Amino acid sequence: MKKSVFTTIILSVAAARSAWAAGSSGTAGQGNLLILLFLGFVALIVVAQMVPAMILMMETVSGLARGTAGRKRMALAAEREEEK
């Protein structure tokens, strides 16, 4: 009994999917403003997440450059010590 009820519900939902997707022609184009607001909100979140990421990336590159320059200075100092 439970299996037949479950199967009936699944088949009813599967048959109604195309009807839900079609909608009515009278409401076509009504949700454009909401869609644009939603996409704008998503874009705002993406940009807000990219700002700290770019700052962190610039700091990392700056730190790597400073570390490389420091190692070069240490190597030059070691060579000068060896020459003396």
**Domain segments of the chain as ranges:** 31-84
pTM of the model: 0.43
Residue with tokens 């037949």: 4
> 3-class DSSP state for residue 1?
coil
For the four alpha carbons of 50, 51, 57 and 58, in that order, the dihedral sign comes to positive
The chain-wide mean pLDDT, for the chain, equals: 79
What are 14-52's pLDDT values in tens digits?
A: 666 665 555 555 555 667 889 999 999 999 999 999 999
Q: Give the C-alpha separation, 48 to 45, whole Å.
A: 5
- 32, two tokens: 């454009």
Q: Give the C-alpha separation, 57 to 76, whole Å.
A: 29
pLDDT of residue 43: 96
